[in-house]
Amino acid sequence: MLNTDERVEVARYQKEIKDMLGLKTENLVFEFGTRNNAVKLDLVTVNPRHNQSFLFHTSEGIDKIDALKKMREYVKKKYKEENSYTIQWTTVDSNDLHTSYFRAKDMYGALDKLYYGRDMNTISVYIVKLNPIS
């Protein structure tokens, strides 16, 4: 259970991360859980155009604040070091072709972010492309 000071610190880190990414509050979800006796933080983005959510990154820490610090560090330094991918996809109940962009170590990491929290059979992927380094 977080005390008042810890809740304020958690909110401060969440705002910093949101501001660094340049996203609106409603387009970013901080999902906390546990894994291997650690606090796991899944940072999820929500695309306002098609209202789909995707995994941005996962971090782990000894508590919520530590997990948020590690997420902030990733956004600040490591995020831009990963490869950029473009994925074109549709949902099974729609024919609308969507284009989404992900940063990941490899193509499989980008697909994992696309499929996060959903059944793989609900999305059809048409193209996965490694973007050129700019």
Q: Are residues 39 and 76 in the same domain?
A: yes
Which residues are within 8 A (CB) of 10 and not within 5 positions of it... i.e. 6 or more apart? 2, 64, 65, 68
Q: What is the pLDDT of residue 95?
A: 84
Residue 64 pLDDT class (50, 70, 90 cuts)? very high
Q: Do 65 and 98 sit in the same domain of this protein?
A: no
Identify the CATH number of the domain in which residue 23 sits. Answer: 3.30.160.40
Instruction: Reply yes or no on whether the pLDDT at 3 is more than 90.
Output: no
Return the pLDDT at 74. 95
Taking a C-beta distance cutoff of 8 angstroms, is the pair 103, 43 a contact?
no
Domain finish residue from 40, 57, 80: 80
Residues 2 and 57 in one domain: yes
Residue 94: per-residue pLDDT: 87
Residues 91, 39 share a domain:
no
**25 lies in the same domain as 73:** yes
pLDDT, one tens digit per residue, over 4-61 is 788 999 999 999 999 999 999 999 999 999 988 999 999 999 998 888 999 999 999 9
Per-residue pLDDT band for 2 (boundaries 50, 70, 90) equals low
Distance of alpha carbon 49 from alpha carbon 35, whole angstroms: 32
pTM: 0.89
Q: Both 49 and 24 in a single domain?
A: yes
Do residue 74 and residue 86 come from a single domain? no
Supply angle C-alpha 129, 94, 84, rounded to 5: 20
**55: Cα separation from own chain's centroid:** 3
Give pLDDT tens digits for 67-106.
999 999 999 988 888 999 999 999 988 889 999 999 999 9
Are both 92 and 132 inside the same structural domain? yes
What total of structural domains would you count in the chain? 2
CA dihedral 92, 96, 102, 107 (to 10 degrees): 50
Buried b (16+ CB within 10 A) or exposed e, 79-118: eeebebbebebeeeeeeeebebebbbeeeebbbebbbeee
Q: What domain range includes position 42?
A: 1-80
The last residue of a domain, from among 80, 99, 114: 80
What one-character DSSP code corresponds to residue 63?
S
